Structure 1
Amino acid sequence: MSLLSKTKNLSPAYFGLVMATGIIAIAAHQQRWPFIAQTLFFISCVSWIILTFLYSYRALRFTKDFTEDLISHNKGPAFFTVVAGTGLVGSQLMVLYGYYWLAFIAWTLSLLLWALLTYTVFTALTVRRDKPTLDKGISGAWLLAVVATQAVAVLSAHLASQTSQPWRLELNFLALSMWLWGGMLYIWMMSLIFYRYTFFKFVPSDLAPPYWINMGAMAISTLAGSLLIINSPNAPFLESLAPFIKGFTIFYWATGSWWIPMLLILGVWRHIIKRFPLTYDPLYWGAVFPLGMYSASTYVMLQAMEFSFLYTLPTTFFYIALLVWGVTFTGLCRSLLRLRQKA
């Protein structure tokens, strides 16, 4: 069996590698580690190119399997990693190098993918006849739709900061609209996920790594809100909404912060108390990303709000995220090596 034929079962969540690597590259830039930032940027871009080819090949060669995943309650939301990964490549281009037009291309692509996936996935999940029960059909992976929405908001805000009028106004308005929509979507989905948490039987296998997106979705919402606050002096409508944006940005950050101890406790329950094996899974990129995003978003929030008393948090979470990224990337390399040996 050739390596390309194995794309038949390629996980829709693999763009989480691009997401996790990209945001840690931005965090490294913030922490003044240019070599790490540039290395991770290179890895994220190469990963994006390779995965785009593999997903395109899978869609053309194994169309039935690809489509079944796309309209699946369990796998469909994972496709939103494509949107978030593309948006974060664009954000890296802006933050690390100031490549406006390349970032604009990434923004255009991420916006088109967001619209396509949002109205394809959720329409399909709504109209399909056979639907799983809530405890079997929903997980933290659904919040990737929130992450994708906020990734577009973040990149829109970055572009707006370097765009002259009149497009600056439109980009800031789009960023604000996506930020608000992402927040509403989180409230809808998190209500169902929390209900599933507390009122249905929960076993270790149910606690998949994407549950860390519970925190990551709030972290990227914090980043988008912080960028809107920074952009507000150049956008009158944002300036008039500044108290509202600041309040909700802190609300998002506080919610994300609440999730961290909870997820750690559940992780101890899963792997230590219940002895669930800790082996490499592409879904683990969904756990790496939130750690990097918490570092990057807190760093920008401190600039926007002047919360100097929280200055140690971005640095601490950067090193944690970098360590977890290294462990997960090692697992990926070993997995690919085994795959090659079996081919």
Structure 2
Amino acid sequence: MRPPPTEHPPFSPSLPVGVRLGGLAGMSPANFGMVMATGIVSLAAHMLGHGALAHALFLLNNVLFGVLCVLTLLRIVRYPRLFFSDMSDHLRGPGCFTTVAACAILACQYMVLLGDTHMGTILWAAALTLWFGFTYAIFTVLTVKREKPGLERGINGGWLLAVVATQSIAVSSVLLAATSQQPYRLELNFLALSMWLWGGMLYIWLMALIFYRYTYFRLSPDDLTPPYWINMGAMAISTLAGSLLISRSADAPYLISLQPFLKGFTIFYWATGTWWIPMLLLLGVWRYAYKRFPLRYDALYWGAVFPLGMYAACTEQMNQAMGFRFLAPVPGIFFYLALGAWALAFLGLLAQLVRGRRAA
């Protein structure tokens, strides 16, 4: 009997067979995606006037973040080889960037929802430190390792989590700059601008490879993992960062002179992200309806929730920065889509935990 397809290979083939059983040993580095998704849905709810919901999700996000941090530390202590081998795996390695984005988005929640700059600064500093560590560790190891998969099996939309992590630093830096005094305000805005530009360049590099893999290699249903939605999500968070730079340009004189450039590239990012939405929906129909791929919970599905929430947030912020009244209905529509997707993913997580407890 043929085994059911899996969303992603659980481990690199180089790892011992005995550790493929799951549990703490098999914990995915992409699990922090649920913090990313919960955080952006919370922030979108705040932007659209759903204050009670925003704060409820914020409280839940702190619990999720704390639990995942504890589990990750336990995994590092008990299975250090597995933890560090993830960073050298072409499919699992990019999932580490969810930790960076989770810290940065939680920092944004503290600053926006509570006005807590102190906690926001701590989480922002943690995100920046992790960004440097993961960026140069992962890309260096993947560059120099001897055994490498082909492009067909070595890249997917999850690689764009590196772009999301970079742009999350830009977003949190802009928000932190707004509450900081000179000269730190000037420096934080420059850091945000630099990260925004670097994230855009990284997207171009990676998307060229992903698009090439899309169109010139055979695509099976199990290849089309949920992180392909990051194709759109990476552009959505780039739009959010650009919109914030436009809105906060008075904090840094050089941003005023860059206004036309900022506005042009922000619309460019938004338009690119918008182009992906129908394409991703069509591919989803092909995967689940035509190919009848089984729909079951996986930590990677948070990578599909996050882009929906981010698209709602970025469009709302862009409307405010540029006065696009004709786009006013769009954030509300995508917010409810994101909220529904978040609820389904969270119910799937609870069901998986219940099944695991019964099995134990």
| TM, length-normalised to structure 2 | 0.93
Aligned to 2:13: none
Aligned to 2:6: none
Q: Helix, strand or coil for the counterpart of 1:6?
A: coil
Aligned to 1:179: 196
Aligned to 2:349: 332
Q: 1:86 aligns with which of 103, 109, 120?
A: 103
Structure 1: distance between partners of 2:52 and 2:323: 28
Aligned to 1:137: 154
Deviation at 1:64, TM superposition (A): 1.2
Aligned to 1:201: 218
Structure 2: distance between partners of 1:251 and 1:93: 29
Aligned to 2:39: 22
Structure 2: distance between partners of 1:159 and 1:311: 27
Structure 1: distance between partners of 2:23 and 2:290: 35
Structure 1: distance between partners of 2:158 and 2:336: 25
Q: Which runs of 5+ in 2 are unaligned?
A: 1-21
User: Is 1:307 aligned to 2:324, yes or no?
Assistant: yes
Letter in 2 for 1:142: W
Aligned to 1:50: 67
Aligned to 2:77: 60
For residues 1-343 of structure 1, the aligned pairs below 5 Å read: 6-343=23-360
Structure 1: distance between partners of 2:181 and 2:80: 43
Aligned to 2:11: none
Letter in 2 for 1:132: P
Deviation at 1:66, TM superposition (A): 1.1
Structure 2: distance between partners of 1:247 and 1:32: 28
Letter in 2 for 1:306: G
Deviation at 1:31, TM superposition (A): 1.3
Letter in 2 for 1:265: L
Structure 2: distance between partners of 1:70 and 1:134: 18
Q: Which has the higher helix share?
A: 1
Percent of aligned positions that are identical: 58
Q: Helix, strand or coil for the counterpart of 1:28?
A: helix
Give per-residue Cα distances to partners, 1:23-69, cap 9 Å, x unaligned: 00001111111111011111111111110111111111011111111
Letter in 2 for 1:107: W
Deviation at 1:234, TM superposition (A): 2.1
Deviation at 1:97, TM superposition (A): 1.1
Letter in 2 for 1:164: Q
Letter in 2 for 1:336: L
Structure 2: distance between partners of 1:6 and 1:331: 17
Deviation at 1:164, TM superposition (A): 1.7
Give per-residue Cα distances to partners, 1:136-185, cap 9 Å, x unaligned: 00000000000000001000000111112111000000000000000000
C-alpha RMSD of the superposition? 0.8
Aligned to 2:7: none
Q: Helix, strand or coil for the counterpart of 1:159?
A: helix
Q: Helix, strand or coil for the counterpart of 2:23?
A: helix
Structure 1: distance between partners of 2:319 and 2:330: 10
Letter in 2 for 1:301: M
Structure 2: distance between partners of 1:110 and 1:206: 30
Letter in 1 for 2:36: M
Q: Helix, strand or coil for the counterpart of 2:181?
A: coil
Deviation at 1:223, TM superposition (A): 0.3
Letter in 1 for 2:131: W
Structure 1: 4+ residue segments shifted above 6 A: none
Letter in 2 for 1:54: L
